[in-house]
Amino acid sequence: MKVSIVIPVYNGSKSIKELCCRIDTVLSANDWAYEIVLVDDCSRDNSWEVMEEINRSEPRVKIIQLMKNFGQHNAILCGLNDADGDVVVTMDDDLQHLPEEIPKLVRKVSEGYDFVIGAFEDKKDTRFKKLASFIFGWLFARIFNAPEHLKFGSFRAMTRAVCKEVRKYKTPYPFVNGIVLSMTGNVANVSVGKAHRQHGATNYSPMKLIRLAFNVIINYSSLILNIVAGVGFIVSILSFLIGGYFLFKKLIVGVDVEGWTSVVVLLSFFNGVLITILSLLGEYMVRIIGEVSNRSQYVVRKKSL
């Protein structure tokens, strides 16, 4: 059996050499053939130089450099396109995903599962990160109709067949877990450990996490459209009731409707709702244009395979 390890790299110059050495130790001990695919997502440090050094000394390490920072999921898709293992594992470059836990993922896939996600036993994250993970996990589970118990993460393994299907997705806004869950329900978690971050800080700021959630909601569900439709319906009912109230006062009661303040407030409110709805619909239009214009998921500057 051959195992492919796909690792998106961003400012990981201090960790990727140790990471590759530990992966080699673990997989060699299990007598598995393997390859490592490192994808440099336009790092600001000397990650590419370190990757070239690793590639020169170890031919089983493939290296790819992207022309700009396309994002973690785009970099992963790039790596999947060059992975040819029977089982394909994706993990982060910061040593928080323990290479020693890779066999757990591979063996779980070997039990017959299409897709396995590592569930951390003790998440060494900030309270904000834990809260965000809980909220996003709850939200994603409903968007993708995933099992209630399923935990999401970027330390995962998939079969070669699933990997081939994931490659077919050409959306410029990929979300790997969502793509896989749209094609199979034969998924599972396996408990894994997680180390403290040894170098640098997380690349996922609160705004990036919010942007990721927004991308997933927009691209993989009709939730926003349903909300917009609901708000539009409610505003229409309110407008009808308010209009009927003023009409009743004028025609039946004979009282003139007074006050410019109420008119200005109502117009501002309804116009604000309409502008918000149009903005959301405009976001959909921009993304549709991006899809039909075949916008690239990533652009490779150079590679050594």
Domain boundaries, the chain: 2-203+300-304, 223-292
pLDDT value, residue 4: 97
Task: Give which of 64, 95, 93 is closest to 77, Cα–Cα.
Answer: 64
Nearest to 17 by CA among 45, 57, 44: 57
CATH homologous superfamily for 2-203+300-304? Spore Coat Polysaccharide Biosynthesis Protein SpsA; Chain A (3.90.550.10)
Q: How many CB atoms lie within 10 A of CB 247?
A: 11
In contact, 12 and 111? CB cutoff 8 Å: no
300 vs 75: CA distance, rounded Å: 10
Q: Is 30 helix (H, G, I), strand (E, B) or coil?
A: coil
Contact 93, 9 (CB under 8 A): yes
CB-CB contact of 158 with 166 (8 Å): yes
The whole-number average pLDDT for the span 55-70 is 95
> 198-254: per-residue pLDDT in tens?
666 666 666 777 777 777 777 777 777 777 778 777 877 777 777 777 677 766 766
Q: What would the mean pLDDT of 35-61 be, rounded to a whole number?
A: 95
Write the DSSP symbol of residue 148.
T
- The number of residues in the chain equals 305
Q: Residue 176: is its pLDDT beyond 70?
A: yes
Global pTM? Answer: 0.79
- Which helix or strand (DSSP H or E) is residue 103 part of? helix 102-110
Q: Cα(81)–Cα(39) distance, rounded to whole angstroms?
A: 11
- Specify the 3-state DSSP secondary structure of 29: helix
